[in-house]
Structure 1
Amino acid sequence: MVDLRDEYRPEIQGLRAFAVLLVAVYHIWFGRVSGGVDVFLMLTGFFITGSLVRSYEKHGRLMPVVFLTRLSRRLVPTAAVVLLGIAVIAWLWMPWYRTHAVMSETLASALYYENWILAARTVDYLNRSDPVSPLQHFWSLSIQGQFYLVWIALMALVALVVKVVGGHLRKVAFAACALVLAVSLPYSIAATAENQTWAYFSTGTRMWEFALGGMLAMALPMIRIPVWIRFALGWIGVLSLIACGALFNVSDQFPGYIALWPVGAAILVILAGTTGKRWAVDRFLASGPMTALGDRSYALYLWHWPILVVYLYLNAERSASILGGLAVLALSLGAAFLTKWAVEDRVLPTRRRRFSRGKSVAVAAAFLVPVLGVASVAQAQLVERTERLDGKIDQALESGDVYLGAEALTDPELFAQLEDDDMPMIPPLAEIKDIPYYYDEGCDNQTRRVCAYGDLGGEHTIALVGASRIGHWFPAFEQAALDNGWRLLVFTKSSCQFSTGVLYDPGGEVYPECMEWNRWVMDQLELLRPDLAVTLSTRALEDGEQTYTGFVNRWHQLDHWGIDVLALRDLPRIGHYPEDCIGLHGVDA
């Protein structure tokens, strides 16, 4: 038997390195989430709960001010350096209208509420097709920052219960963590099923992961496991972590109950502890290179994502090649090691006696205030530029002159005027959305109502039916309906094909809501009997364009009811963002 105590655990530092490598590798080459962040959240709960409880055991009080000042001195400087680097990169290499969003998110990330910005954005379908933010990964740090405040309050309540009612501190703390787990995990499962994209960034859906780490910290000193079992647990845990991102579509299914997989795998590694066996996983995790990388895991996590986003952005790609990905990983590692050397080893020496609470706050503020200042000033300038551009557009529209349009593409003289600041693009690049306005009226996704446009009393009726990509034809058919006195009906549901048989969502999972929607649409079409149904004949994917049997079956059903079918080819899929190409390289590109 080996006592698993609250001492320094080099294999846990190696586990942090392993988790951050999984995060980086899955992001860079697979465009997927690995579950590594869930490991970090559990470890945060493990360390913070243990730290607060040991502080109370040693001093008889929690000392939250000391705890938070030390935490800010340790976490804020590195994050601030990365945030400042991202702000500079955005200003130099991104179109100004993208930079506006980056500066806004810089403020949110610095003040630990980026996760709520992202949660609100994912609820809006119109924003889901936007380029990813170089600050998106700060969602997990924001949740951690909010967790620290919640956990101090929870542990203060635990200490009060122990003082007033009595009981063993660690047992009461374990019970408090278990209570959080009992509330947060069911909520996470329900919220993930209801609105996964929002649940992914929510603090409440992640709190159980911290709580489970806290429970482990309280129970670990009392656990005794034979060495041979711990040998097996270590390898099971590591192999399970590797498999998580491959087996599950983490970005579409997490957090929910599936997040128990990576969290549970990490717990197995911690339970395995140090076995002393030659071929045990702890020998690998506790090795010099892994612990050194573990010391830099925080900086590596912060740097890898913005470097990847900038690489994809500058190369107009949506995924990295093998060599490109290796370059991204190498740059990320270099930036992490440099940041550790320059910030933590030079500015923030580990001898705590040199830092009083006041000095700790001053150090954190010295790094944070410039970030807030730069982001605020840059944002103000970008707002002013937006207002100036809006003024020029209003002036151009009010002048009554014919404004440049598609004709400019065939006339070199007109084309040259597009680069003139006095002839801004309408609509501005910042406002370009290729989604029709009926989304704003709730005529897509979960709604089941017949949406009518054009001449509502028209003699002939056209129905636009299918997934969101058929909706791109809405403006043309709406204008035709208005010109010819037709009634236009819209039946669209995002990511839901107008087809028979089993249908799947973008993550490859069975999509029962889509099949139910198909049945409802067919009922409506049979009842309303439009003269013409307009739908897609193909799906254009990265691996080519195909027509599916399920599409043709639907056309035969409509033909049987006397409804004519106009089946249009799918729109081409563009591998980059055209508006950003124009913003970066001008209209000549």
Structure 2
Amino acid sequence: MLKSRPSATMKWTGDSDARASASTQNTYRDDIQGIRAISAILIAVYHIWINKVSGGVDVFFVISGFLMAGVLIRQIQQHDRIRPLIFWGNLIKRIAPCACTVLLTTLAIGYFIVPEPLWSQLIREILFSALNLENIALMHSSVDYLARELPPSPVQQFWALSTQVQFYALLPPVLMLAFWIARKTSPASRTPLLLTVGLVILASLLYSIVTTAREPVSSYFNPAARVWEFFAGVLLALLLPRIRIADGLRHLFGLLGLATLLLFGFLAPHDAQFPGYIALIPVAAAVALIITGSGPVQSVANRWLASRHLSGLGKISFGIYLWHWPLLAFSLEYTGTSRLGLLHGLLIIALAIVLAMATHRFVEEPIRNHRYASRRVWVPYFIGLLLLSPVLASAATWNYYIRNVVAEEKGSNARLIGPEDFAPAQVQARTGQLSEAHLITAKMILPASYQGNCHQEITRPEVVSCAYGDTQATTTVALVGGSHATQWLPALDRIGKSNGLRVLNITKKECPFGATEGGHPSCAEWNRRLIETLADLRPQVVITNSTSTTNPKILEYVPPTYLDQWQRLEQLGIPVIGIRDNPSLGFDPSTCVARHRDDLLTCSKPRAKSLAERDPALEYLDEIGNLHTVDMSEFLCTAEQCLTVTHDFLMYRDGHHLNPRYVLALTGRLQERLAQAVPELFTR
């Protein structure tokens, strides 16, 4: 994504200093600009219409490694050492102007287009992108089950730039170490240098293959799984002058490389996991095209890539890549569609090119070519700080506002009283008195168990518990299960305080009371240990979920593993109150409400597709003597529809978790149902 330079490679001499010199091509590689242009357009095309990986990013990574290695090799040729501060400073001048312009523009437009529930996500990713850590943020989001349902943010494309910048930070010290090892061990040979780079490639590639198979979503953004692609370009920069190809083979390999670049995304399986071994194909295409475009005779394919128009697009390919994604994200949000038509998509590509040209002409070039830009080593860093400051300041100001809204909303929740006569759910056509604060904080306020390690992590089998309600009481109620159990904690905490009950929250992410198929292996072990814990605690009652609605292929049902756990508690003499599960909607309610304020039925789901006609747990009351059931579905659904807004309450915080504020509003009604089940504990 950076302007291409002539390549350089090391040639070792036999003097006592093992001084490395380099032979440098004096020709400008227009064909590399053409490769970058094709890659940028392919990325945009596949994002807009095809929804597959194009391989263009992998090609960008190889080219970046090739060009940046050439820059550092030329430093050794000219100065007998690598000068990392100058290297990084020049990169700041090239990257920061366009990147900061896109980020600031995206932040400004996002305020008007992005729905309020996604504001916090946008600000968070703007900040991570500005600090070149967006790939790390997306790695974390991909394994955070609360963030998996969030749509891609308008700055998600910055993951690739973040990965590149991390490589740029790594490259100088790696090459400095490699050159030092080479000079100490074999001054007249390049073998130690090549071995060092080769080992980096091999280690990263093996890691990429293994981790992609295990964690394909997070591996896509993992810099350690991508670094081999960059170092493939580094290795090519070191070897290129010694590679000789006959003209016939040169034309053949050039055409094969170009065909692979153009067709890879189309032919690759839709479920291919990246990067992994399949990324070897676009990497090989990039390597082939770089090789066939070097030397006095270029291949036919490279001559086409070096054409004036493609070379011109290549110069602004960085801007095209950065601009196309927010244009696409905002267009989809504004039109309310999930896929754009041909003309709309072409307009986005054309606008991305225009914006990239304007950014290059009026922002990048004036800053890069300013007479002060190269006078001192520290000047580029100062320029980068100046460009970054408005982005950070704007994002921080917006984030400060949201934090104040969250604090006020938490205070409002603390004062909220859930009346005993709270009405069942009723259709509400418009948002009415539903405040903007409810939408802004929908995804940010969670039950108290999510703080202080009181809701066990997905991968850990240890049983942890935290006390709520009347923590000094001798009568204990255990709330056990997964997130669909702990979502009732806000109401149970208040019920415990008013009834003199100690409420123990013993829950684990994505792990109900009774491990279901497809869950993490630690869930079964956690359930086994949980029975032992409950046998020691001897709570007066266990509260959990009685049904499951989270399997999209099965209508609400009682998993057999739930029955097994209830029977184990029956043997221990511990009663069970099973709360019927809430509907899983299959869409994000808060963003839907923000988008359809005057037509809230759009954000509902037919009851028949959400819940069974009759609570399935009722069938087991005679079979399991310790079981009591609580059905709160009338406060979630009417006879026909399961709603997302009623009585000016936003009912959900995501597609299958209830909003803590609404749970608090149901406190009186929940206590009423609990008292019907076990009156000796829950009657006031």
Residue in 2 that maps onto 1:456: none
Q: Which has the higher contact order (CA 8 A, sep 6+)?
A: 1
Residue in 1 that maps onto 2:264: 243
Change (3 A) 1:84 1:403: farther
CA–CA distance in structure 2, aligned partners of residues 552 and 30 of structure 1:
38
CA–CA distance in structure 2, aligned partners of residues 361 and 205 of structure 1:
32
CA contact (8 A) 2:454 2:465 kept: no
Helix, strand or coil at the partner of 2:63: helix
Residue in 2 that maps onto 1:76: 96
Identical-residue share of aligned pairs (%): 29
Q: Does 1:123 align with 2:134?
A: no
Q: CA deviation at 1:164?
A: 4.8
Q: CA deviation at 1:83?
A: 0.9
Q: CA deviation at 1:222?
A: 0.8
Residue in 1 that maps onto 2:392: 375
CA–CA distance in structure 2, aligned partners of residues 490 and 149 of structure 1:
42
Indicate which of 341, 351, 359 corresponds to 1:322: 341
Q: Which runs of 5+ in 2 are unaligned?
A: 1-8, 10-23, 467-479, 497-504, 532-543, 565-577, 601-684
TM-score (norm 2): 0.64
Residue in 2 that maps onto 1:485: none
Change (3 A) 1:411 1:128: closer
Q: CA deviation at 1:329?
A: 4.6
Change (3 A) 1:270 1:411: closer
CA contact (8 A) 2:456 2:464 kept: yes
CA–CA distance in structure 1, aligned partners of residues 283 and 420 of structure 2:
57
Q: Which runs of 5+ in 1 are unaligned?
A: 454-462, 483-487, 504-512, 526-531, 558-565
Indicate which of 43, 46, 65 corresponds to 1:26: 46
Q: CA deviation at 1:492?
A: 9.6
Q: Does 1:418 align with 2:434?
A: yes
Residue in 2 that maps onto 1:390: 407
Indicate which of 352, 355, 358 corresponds to 1:335: 352
CA–CA distance in structure 2, aligned partners of residues 346 and 378 of structure 1:
21
Q: C-alpha offsets along residues 296-334 of structure 1, whole Å, 9 cap, x if unaligned?
A: 2100111111122222222333x32323xx424533442
Residue in 1 that maps onto 2:591: 580
Please tell me the residue identity of whatever aligns with 2:232: L
Please tell me the residue identity of whatever aligns with 2:444: E
Q: C-alpha offsets along residues 369-392 of structure 1, whole Å, 9 cap, x if unaligned?
A: 354334334423432443344235
Change (3 A) 1:375 1:99: farther
Q: CA deviation at 1:234?
A: 2.5
CA–CA distance in structure 1, aligned partners of residues 271 and 72 of structure 2:
35
Q: Does 1:429 align with 2:428?
A: no
Change (3 A) 1:289 1:405: farther
Q: Does 1:229 align with 2:249?
A: yes
- The within-5 A match list for 1:136-175 is 136-161=156-181, 163-165=183-185, 167-168=187-188, 171-175=191-195
CA–CA distance in structure 2, aligned partners of residues 200 and 148 of structure 1:
19
CA contact (8 A) 1:464 1:474 kept: no
CA contact (8 A) 2:332 2:340 kept: no
Q: Which moved more, 1:76-85 or 1:134-143?
A: 134-143
Please tell me the residue identity of whatever aligns with 1:190: V
Please tell me the residue identity of whatever aligns with 2:94: R
Please tell me the residue identity of whatever aligns with 2:152: V
Change (3 A) 1:490 1:76: closer
CA–CA distance in structure 2, aligned partners of residues 377 and 305 of structure 1:
21
Please tell me the residue identity of whatever aligns with 1:417: Q
Q: Does 1:357 align with 2:378?
A: no
Q: CA deviation at 1:214?
A: 0.7
CA contact (8 A) 1:26 1:32 kept: yes
CA–CA distance in structure 1, aligned partners of residues 355 and 508 of structure 2:
55
Residue in 2 that maps onto 1:195: 215
Residue in 1 that maps onto 2:83: 63
Please tell me the residue identity of whatever aligns with 2:390: G
Helix, strand or coil at the partner of 1:109: helix
Q: CA deviation at 1:335?
A: 3.3
Helix, strand or coil at the partner of 2:215: helix
Q: C-alpha offsets along residues 66-114 of structure 1, whole Å, 9 cap, x if unaligned?
A: 3222221111111111111111112232245533333333232222222
Residue in 2 that maps onto 1:11: 31
CA contact (8 A) 1:103 1:378 kept: yes
Helix, strand or coil at the partner of 2:38: helix
Change (3 A) 1:571 1:279: farther
CA contact (8 A) 1:86 1:134 kept: yes
CA–CA distance in structure 1, aligned partners of residues 455 and 247 of structure 2:
60
CA–CA distance in structure 1, aligned partners of residues 487 and 368 of structure 2:
65
Indicate which of 307, 310, 319 corresponds to 2:330: 310
Q: Which moved more, 1:337-346 or 1:132-141?
A: 337-346
Q: Which moved more, 1:18-27 or 1:228-237?
A: 228-237
Indicate which of 292, 314, 325 corresponds to 1:294: 314
Q: C-alpha offsets along residues 360-411 of structure 1, whole Å, 9 cap, x if unaligned?
A: 864664465354334334423432443344235424633x655799859749
Q: CA deviation at 1:132?
A: 1.6
Indicate which of 125, 130, 135 corresponds to 2:155: 135
CA–CA distance in structure 1, aligned partners of residues 486 and 339 of structure 2:
29
Q: C-alpha offsets along residues 525-550 of structure 1, whole Å, 9 cap, x if unaligned?
A: 9xxxxxx997669965xxxx788xxx
Q: C-alpha offsets along residues 441-498 of structure 1, whole Å, 9 cap, x if unaligned?
A: 6778656799999xxxxxxxxx999xx9x989999xx99xx9xxxxx9999969xxx9
Helix, strand or coil at the partner of 1:290: helix
CA–CA distance in structure 2, aligned partners of residues 569 and 238 of structure 1:
54
Q: C-alpha offsets along residues 403-445 of structure 1, whole Å, 9 cap, x if unaligned?
A: 79985974989974334x7xx54993233679x979x767786
Indicate which of 260, 279, 289 corresponds to 1:259: 279
Please tell me the residue identity of whatever aligns with 2:341: I
Q: Which moved more, 1:30-39 or 1:95-104?
A: 95-104
CA–CA distance in structure 2, aligned partners of residues 170 and 352 of structure 1:
36
Q: C-alpha offsets along residues 106-148 of structure 1, whole Å, 9 cap, x if unaligned?
A: 2322222222222223232211112222222212211211212
CA–CA distance in structure 2, aligned partners of residues 263 and 449 of structure 1:
43
Structure that is richer in helix per residue = 1
Is the radius of gyration larger for structure 1 or structure 2?
Answer: 2
Residue in 2 that maps onto 1:44: 64
Q: CA deviation at 1:515?
A: 11
Change (3 A) 1:406 1:192: farther
Indicate which of 223, 227, 233 corresponds to 1:213: 233
CA–CA distance in structure 1, aligned partners of residues 36 and 187 of structure 2:
34
Helix, strand or coil at the partner of 1:224: coil
CA–CA distance in structure 2, aligned partners of residues 259 and 146 of structure 1:
19
Q: C-alpha offsets along residues 529-583 of structure 1, whole Å, 9 cap, x if unaligned?
A: xxx997669965xxxx788xxx99999x9xxxxxxxx9x99957555x3312434
CA–CA distance in structure 1, aligned partners of residues 419 and 271 of structure 2:
47
Q: Which moved more, 1:407-416 or 1:203-212?
A: 407-416
TM-score (norm 1): 0.72
CA–CA distance in structure 2, aligned partners of residues 448 and 215 of structure 1:
44
CA–CA distance in structure 2, aligned partners of residues 66 and 403 of structure 1:
67
